[in-house]
C-alpha cells in the first residue's frame, strides 16, 4: 500500500514565503545603507562640502548596496584617521559608523522578519 501526499499547496506557500523573505531582507539592507550614509555625513571631512555632497547609496544586485563618496581623494581621507580635520570631522567616516551601530542594524532585520 502506497500513501500519496499532495504537497502542492505547501510548496506554493514556501515559494511565496521565500519571495517575501527576499523582499523584506532587501528592504532592510536598503534601510541600513541609507542609515550608514546618514551617519557618515556627520563624520565625513568637510572643508567646502564637496566631498560630503557626493555621498550616495547604490543598489548593485539583490541585497547588495554600496555606500560611498565620489571624489578622487575620498578613500585617502577615509584611510588616514591621523589627518587633522576641521569641525570635529575624521577619517574612517564610513567604517566607524558601521562598527558602532552593528547591533542597531541587526534590529532592522529582526523587525523586518517579525513583520512577515
80 within some domain: yes
Is the pLDDT reported for residue 113 higher than 90? no
**How many CB atoms within 10 Å of residue 59?**
13
- Please give the residue range of the domain that contains residue 96: 26-114
Q: In the chain, how many domains are there?
A: 1
DSSP string, 31-75: HHHHHHHHHHTTTS--SSSTTGGG-EEEEEETTEEEEE--STTHH
2 within some domain: no
Report pLDDT digits (tens) over 32-57: 999 999 999 999 999 999 999 999 99
104 within some domain: yes
62 within some domain: yes
75 within some domain: yes
12 within some domain: no
pLDDT of residue 36: 98
91 within some domain: yes
73 within some domain: yes
Amino acid at each position: 500500500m502506497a500513501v500519496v501526499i499532495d504537497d502542492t499547496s505547501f510548496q506554493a506557500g514556501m515559494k511565496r514565503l521565500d519571495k517575501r523573505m527576499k523582499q523584506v531582507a532587501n528592504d532592510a539592507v536598503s534601510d541600513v545603507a541609507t542609515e550608514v550614509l546618514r551617519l557618515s555625513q556627520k563624520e565625513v571631512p568637510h572643508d567646502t562640502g564637496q566631498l560630503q555632497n557626493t555621498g550616495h547609496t547604490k543598489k548593485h544586485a539583490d541585497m547588495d548596496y554600496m555606500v560611498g563618496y565620489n571624489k578622487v581623494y575620498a578613500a585617502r581621507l577615509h584611510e588616514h584617521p591621523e589627518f587633522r580635520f576641521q569641525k570635529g570631522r575624521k577619517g574612517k567616516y564610513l567604517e566607524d559608523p558601521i562598527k558602532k551601530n552593528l547591533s542597531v542594524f541587526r534590529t532592522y532585520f529582526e523587525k523586518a522578519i517579525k513583520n512577515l
